[in-house]
Amino acid sequence: MNLDDLTYFLAIAETGLLHRAALKVGISQPALTKAVRRLEAELGVPLFERSPKGMQLTRYGIEFERNAVNLRAAYEDTLCKIAELHSGDLAKVRLGATPATESLVNRTFLALLKRRPALRLDLNVQLSDALMQALLEGEIDLAVAPMPVELPEGLLAVRLLRESIEIVCRSGHPLSVLDKPASPEQLSGFTWILPGQSVSARQQINAYFERHHIEGPNVQVQSNYSSPVGVFSLIASTDMLGICSTQHRPVAEQYKLQAVQASRADWPREIACLVRKVGSLSPLTSTFKEQLLQEAARIEMKPKRAKFI
């Protein structure tokens, strides 16, 4: 079986349209059609149903897609292991992180770099949904992200640490001088800078307002928080409210941001290391994973700091 044909099949399955799949993999539509025919001839069953709406997977195609993803991931895994055997300590760790967990990954990299000075890191920073898809497709070997509510089939999660999400505002903000926690009504009176709806922290904020039957949050800027510096500088210069994770707190303090105590609000979340069920990690990637666990344990062992000034 041609591995390129697997890639072409998965592109069609993902997009549902030949012309989009052709653009995605960089070959012509007739070449894609031939690849599908080769696979169908080899398997002896139809993989797609052609319709005016596009290419729909048959029941055979749905089953083949599950296994094709694993086959391609196993192939990528094998290539990485061979490369590591060939280049020794020059091997590369392919890892994904969300904006909220990038600092933990950086901390781990710096700690391991002392022992493995030739270590190379291929870091992919995206939101959780995109990271999990990249992990399933074999584009990365580890993902560090908030623990998903529903773990996708094919992935395993190892808990790293528990952190909390706080609302933050600029120094001198009207909510910073309250002598009691802000009510949902008071919080709804200001605009926010928040990540998109697929991010767990945003979902927790939304649920908070829904629980109190208050319309909100009023999002003026939607950001994936890929640059906490950019987000916190906006908050420091306006009356917008935002959020800050435990790991980003030192950056927030540089901008003199203050935590806003919210009435009846508690937003903890678990940070996890995600890996594929199928296949095994290279020795160097396994070492990086163990270092992640150690760094996360050190963070949790630190004394809890008081709220922002």
What are the tens digits of pLDDT across the range 44-69? 999 999 888 889 999 999 999 988 88
Range of the structural domain that residue 125 is part of? 88-161+270-301
Domain end position, chosen among 40, 70, 100: 70
Q: How confident is the model at residue 235 (pLDDT cuts 50, 70, 90)?
A: very high
Same domain, 122 and 254: no
- Estimate the crossing angle of helix 3-15 against helix 18-25, to 10 degrees: 130
Position 305 pLDDT exceeds 60: no
DSSP state at residue 176: G
Structure tokens at 85: 């055997």
Residue with tokens 């790991």: 247
Residues 180-198 have a mean pLDDT of: 93
Would 247 be classed as within a structural domain? yes
Give me the pLDDT at residue 79, please.
76
Structure tokens at 83: 């490369």
Structure tokens at 58: 């048959």
What distance in Å separates the CA atoms of residue 278 and residue 77, rounded to the nearest whole number? 10
Instruction: State which amino acid sits at residue 170.
Output: R
Same domain, 251 and 174: yes
173 Cβ neighbours under 8 A, 6+ residues apart: 239, 258, 260
Of the two residues 51 and 106, the one the predictor is more confident about is 106
Would 152 be classed as within a structural domain? yes
Q: Could you read off the pLDDT of 282-303 as tens digits, one per residue?
A: 888 999 999 999 999 998 877 5
3-state helix, strand, coil in the chain (%, to 5): 50, 20, 30
Question: Number of structural domains, the chain?
Answer: 3
Same domain, 255 and 295: no
CB 205 within 8 A of CB 126: no
Same domain, 179 and 244: yes
Same domain, 153 and 274: yes
Same domain, 17 and 149: no
Position 198 pLDDT exceeds 60: yes
Domain end position, chosen among 22, 43, 70: 70
Same domain, 152 and 285: yes
Residue 286: CATH number of its domain: 3.40.190.10
Q: How confident is the model at residue 180 (pLDDT cuts 50, 70, 90)?
A: very high
Give the number of C-alpha atoms closer than 13 A to the C-alpha of residue 300, restricted to the C-beta side. Answer: 13
Give me the pLDDT at residue 306, please.
47
Would 82 be classed as within a structural domain? no
Give the number of C-alpha atoms closer than 13 A to the C-alpha of residue 216, restricted to the C-beta side. Answer: 21
Same domain, 30 and 154: no
Coil, helix or strand at residue 171 = coil
C-alpha closest to that of 297 among 144, 105, 160: 160
Would 189 be classed as within a structural domain? yes
Same domain, 139 and 212: no
Position 243 pLDDT exceeds 80: yes
pTM over 0.85: no
Would 96 be classed as within a structural domain? yes
Q: How confident is the model at residue 88 (pLDDT cuts 50, 70, 90)?
A: low
Among the ranges given (36-50, 86-100, 120-134, 149-163), the one the predictor scored with the smallest mean pLDDT:
86-100
